Amino acid sequence: MSDDVAAAVDALRLGDLILLPTETVYGLGADAANPAAVAKIFAAKGRSRFNPLIAHVSDVAQARRVAVMDALAERLADAFWPGPMTIVAAYRGEGVCDLARAGLNSVAVRAPLLPLARAVIDAFGAAVVAPSANRSGRPSPTTFDDAVEETGPSVAAALDGGPCAVGLESTVVSVLGGVVRLLRPGAVTRSEIESIVGPLAADEGDGHRSPGRLALHYAPDAPVRIEARGARAGEILLGFGPGVGEPRWSLSERGDTAEAAARLFRLLREADRERPSGIAVSPMPNDGLGEAINDRLRRAAGFVG
């Protein structure tokens, strides 16, 4: 075990927080079973206690200890774990404290792909809850420096996993009631999920089943204007596609939604540091990771739901 991983595991055992890199975004981690440790997460983020956390596990065997993994959940885990897929299932009754679940009788589980994250969870031997490491309402951190800037002072150990390859939070699906519902679009796309479990249940409106979706999210300080055809005076334009805006501020010059996802939160933060009058963002197709990007951009622009 590396010194870094050992220090992170010690911190978890002592009930302290850690910065946990994953392939999606940096997380703020704690022992899922320790309510005092979990309370530190809500305090550090300024997060509402109505908003439950994701329990990170090393594999499906560990997921089965905390969640009721029915046939649908098993198929999803088999297809997408380890990776950016979070499954909301019935809670089995042990291992993830009430506060972490916001008192719900369900639990969100995910096995991350990043080897450093897996090493920590494996060595700890139990579930690690970790929301994105931003303060509530701010863009998720996708680099070590951004994570340290957001919540670094609250942690006892910080792991540097480099820039996050995906750059957007995991896809969240619910299997409650024997149907698969998309609660939050993410790196695993709707069509990838449907290829495994068939058509998703109709959307019943945002936020109804995923408390975290009710709040304004992912917003930098500068106002965000989406579907912009160009920059207005004082704005920075985050372009998409060949020749749109300045190369430095391009989400993807080749018009690739996966590349745009990987850059989105970092560029929103960098643009914000220049104190522009606003941040304009070029239209983004809805294919591939586009659905998740457009979801985050609508929220950053203040259109919730």
Judged by CB under 6 A, the stretch of 190-198, 204-212, 236-244, 282-290 that binds ligand TXA is 204-212
Binding site for Mg ion (CB under 5 A): 132
Give the nearest distance from C-beta 229 to ligand TXA in angstroms: 31
Q: Is 131 in the site for ligand TXA (CB under 6 A)?
A: yes
The listed partner (ligand TXA, Mg ion, none) that binds 193, CB under 5 to 8 Å by sort, is none
Q: Which residue is nearest to ligand TXA (CB)?
A: 212
CB atoms within 10 A of CB 14: 12
Which of 157, 119, 111, 128 lies closest to 1 in space, CA to CA?
A: 119
Sign of CA dihedral 262, 265, 268, 271: negative
Tokens 């300080």 label which residue?
Answer: 221
> HSE-up of 292 (CA within 13 Å, CB side)?
30
Nearer to ligand TXA, 169 or 291 (CB): 169
Looking at the Cβ atoms of 91 and 249, the one nearer to ligand TXA is: 91
Quick one: what does residue 255 bind among Mg ion, ligand TXA, none, with the CB cut-off 5 to 8 Å set by partner type? none
Residue ranges with strand state E in 191-234: 224-225
Stretch of 9-17, 83-91, 222-230, 267-275 contacting ligand TXA, by CB under 6 A: 83-91
Amino acid at 124: F
Amino acid at 289: L
Q: Binders of ligand TXA among 91-110, rule CB under 6 A? A: 101, 104, 106-108, 110
If one asks whether residue 147 binds ligand TXA (CB under 6 A), the answer comes out as no
DSSP conformation letters of 256-304: -HHHHHHHHHHHHHHHHHT--SEEEE----STTTHHHHHHHHHHHTT--
Residue window 13-52: x/- pattern of binding to ligand TXA, with contact defined by CB under 6 A: ---------x-xx-x-----------------------xx
What does the alpha-carbon distance between residue 122 and residue 284 come to, in Å, rounded to a whole number?
38
Q: Are strands 235-240 and 278-281 parallel, antiparallel or unpaired?
A: parallel
Instruction: Name which position in 209, 255, 259, 285 contacts ligand TXA (CB under 6 A).
Output: 209
Q: Which residues bind ligand TXA (CB under 6 A)?
A: 22, 24-25, 27, 51-54, 84, 86, 88, 101, 104, 106-108, 110, 130-132, 169-170, 172, 183-184, 209-213
